[in-house]
Amino acid sequence: MYTEMTPNGYGISIEKGEVLFKDKSDFQDVEIFESRGLGRVLTLDGLMMTTEKDEFFYHELITHIPMITHKNPENVLVIGGGDGGTIREVLKHKSVKNVDLCEIDGMVIDASKKFLPTIACKLDDPKVKIYVEDAIEFIKDKKNVYDVILIDSTDPMGPGEGLFTEEFYTNVKNSLRPNGIVVPQSESPFGQQEDCRKVYKLLKKIFKNVAPYCSPVITYPSGYWSWAFCSDDVEIPTFETQLDEDRALEIEKQCKIYNSKFHKGVFATPNFIKELTK
């Protein structure tokens, strides 16, 4: 049995099947195992990263909200996300000419390519450039480069820790082109409220417009997750926002969750999350 408990004494349990991959990289323990109900499961340092059956929640949410809100995303950066799920979603957008993936741990990429083919399937696409580097260094000299940046990181501990600092977010912002949008994953609004509060406090120091949007992610701590829509130039979507409905429909056809109504509705935030992220 695999069990990941939150510090609050509850969490998810999964009947563990065959272990397909298990090794220690320079950064963390990497493991992929079979499960009956969730397909293959990727964990890092024993913490849930993704499963074949519920990965669509996380990957659709982090990707399509900023990608469709942006009017013409051509150059995209994914930080972390070595499993390739976010890259796969980004490449559904026809406007994209280039995606950089900056993942610190090459073992995650290699193991995902081998054992999570439905998730990592687009990592060899010619539009993708992979940098096995620390994003903290990678981003420092990038100025006016990206239209959309997706920070698909681990929690603010271990290798992900430096991705939750003022300096890092400032460098990320400086690497954006005009009308650029950044979306970091921003922890659980129920199971990790203190981490979540800190992330938003920091993001609001850097970006003019910051708002959370949330969704279930079945296998994450507490099962409820948040992402932060951040931009200086682009307004937070509302019910009244005019999206490009043709592009949205093109994405909807390829998705389990995303549609343009969902896109606008997801920013109608529960009171306690507004309070937590204010």
**Contact positions vs a second copy (CB under 8 A):** 3, 5-15, 35-38, 54, 190-191, 216, 218-219, 222-224, 239, 252, 255-259, 261-272
Smallest distance, a second copy to C-beta of residue 227, A:
15
| Strand 128-131 versus strand 98-102 pairing type | parallel
DSSP class per residue in 202-233? HHHHH-SEEEEEEEE-TTSGGGEEEEEEEESS
Distances 274 to 165, 196, 211, 271 between C-alpha atoms, Å: 22, 11, 9, 5
Least distance CB 13 / a second copy (angstroms): 5
Nearer to a second copy, 201 or 272 (CB): 272
Q: Which residue lies nearer to a second copy by CB, 38 or 202?
A: 38
16: tokens are 């563990």
| Shortest reach from residue 36's CB to a second copy, in Å | 4
CB of 72 vs a second copy, minimal distance in Å: 24
Q: State the minimum distance, in angstroms, from the CB of residue 210 to a second copy.
A: 18
User: CA 254 to CA 56: how far, in whole Å?
Assistant: 11
Rounded to whole angstroms, how far apart are CA atoms 230 and 244?
20
CA-CA distances (angstroms) from residue 247 to 68, 82, 98? Answer: 7, 26, 18
Nearer to a second copy, 200 or 258 (CB): 258
Nearer to a second copy, 12 or 47 (CB): 12
Return the beta strands (E) in 109-223 as ranges.
128-131, 146-152, 176-184, 209-216
Residue in 54, 147, 152, 155 annotated catalytic? 152
**Rounded distance between C-alpha atoms, residue 184 and residue 203, angstroms:** 10
Cα–Cα distance measured from residue 73 to residue 98, given in angstroms and rounded to the nearest whole number:
10
* CA angle, residues 269, 148, 157, in degrees to nearest 5: 70
The question of whether 45 is a catalytic residue gets the answer no
Token representation of residue 71: 């009017």
Least Å from the CB of residue 265 to a second copy: 3
Q: How far, in Å, CA of 254 to CA of 127, rounded?
A: 19
Please, which residue, 164 or 213, has the CB nearer to a second copy? 213
Closer residue to a second copy, CB minimum distance, 97 or 253:
253
User: How is residue 249 written in tokens?
Assistant: 């429909």
Residues designated catalytic: 152
